[in-house]
Amino acid sequence: MQANGAGGGQQQQQPQPPQGPELGCLGAQNGEASAGTTAGDQLAHANGLLPSANSGGGSPGGLSVNNGVPAAGGPGPAAAELGGGGGGGGSALKKKKRLSQSDEDVIRLIGQHLHGLGLNQTVDLLMQESGCRLEHPSATKFRNHVMEGEWDKAENDLNELKALVHSPHAIVRMKFLLLQQKYLEYLEDGKVLEALQVLRCELTPLKYNTERIHVLSGYLMCSHAEDLRAKAEWEGKGTASRSKLLDKLQTYLPPSVMLPPRRLQNLLRQAVELQRDRCLYHNTKLDSNLDSVSLLIDHVCSRKQFPCYTQQILTEHCNEVWFCKFSNDGTKLATGSKDTTVIIWQVDPDTHQLKLLKTLEGHAYGVSYIAWSPDDNYLVACGPDDCSELWLWNVQTGELRTKMSQSHEDSLTSVAWNPDGKRFVTGGQRGQFYQCDLDGNLLDSWEGVRVQCLWCLSDGKTVLASDTHQRIRGYNFEDLTDRNIVQEDHPIMSFTISKNGRLALLNVATQGVHLWDLQDRVLVRKYQGVTQGFYTIHSCFGGHNEDFIASGSEDHKVYIWHKRSELPIAELTGHTRTVNCVSWNPQIPSMMASASDDGTVRIWGPAPFVDNQDIEEECSSMDS
What φ, ψ does residue 20 adopt, rounded to 5°?
-125, 170
Count of all residues that appear for the chain in the document: 624
Query: Is residue 582 helix, strand or coil?
Result: strand
Neighbours of 291 (CB within 10 A): 6
H or E segment and range at residue 542: strand 540-542
What whole-number distance in Å separates Cα of residue 108 and Cα of residue 111? 5
- pLDDT tens by residue, 491-537: 999 999 999 999 999 999 999 999 999 999 999 999 999 888 888 99
Task: Specify which residues 551 forms β-bridges with.
Answer: 559
Q: CB within 8 A of 54, min separation 6: which ones? A: 36, 37, 38, 39, 61, 62, 63, 64, 74, 75
What pTM, to 2 d.p., does this model score?
A: 0.68
User: Given this model, what pLDDT does residue 287 score?
Assistant: 64
Neighbours of 92 (CB within 10 A): 7
Which three-class secondary structure string do you get for 78-99?
A: HHHCCCCCCCCCCCCCCCCCCC
∠ CA 248-249-251 to the nearest 5 degrees?
70
User: Given this model, what pLDDT does residue 8 score?
Assistant: 42
User: Given this model, what pLDDT does residue 186 score?
Assistant: 93
Which residues of the chain fall short of a pLDDT of 50?
Answer: 1-94, 610, 612-624
User: Given this model, what pLDDT does residue 84 score?
Assistant: 39
User: Given this model, what pLDDT does residue 608 score?
Assistant: 83
Contact between residue 241 and residue 225 where contact means Cβ atoms under 8 Å apart: no
**DSSP for 251-263, written as a single string:** TTS-TTTSPPTTH
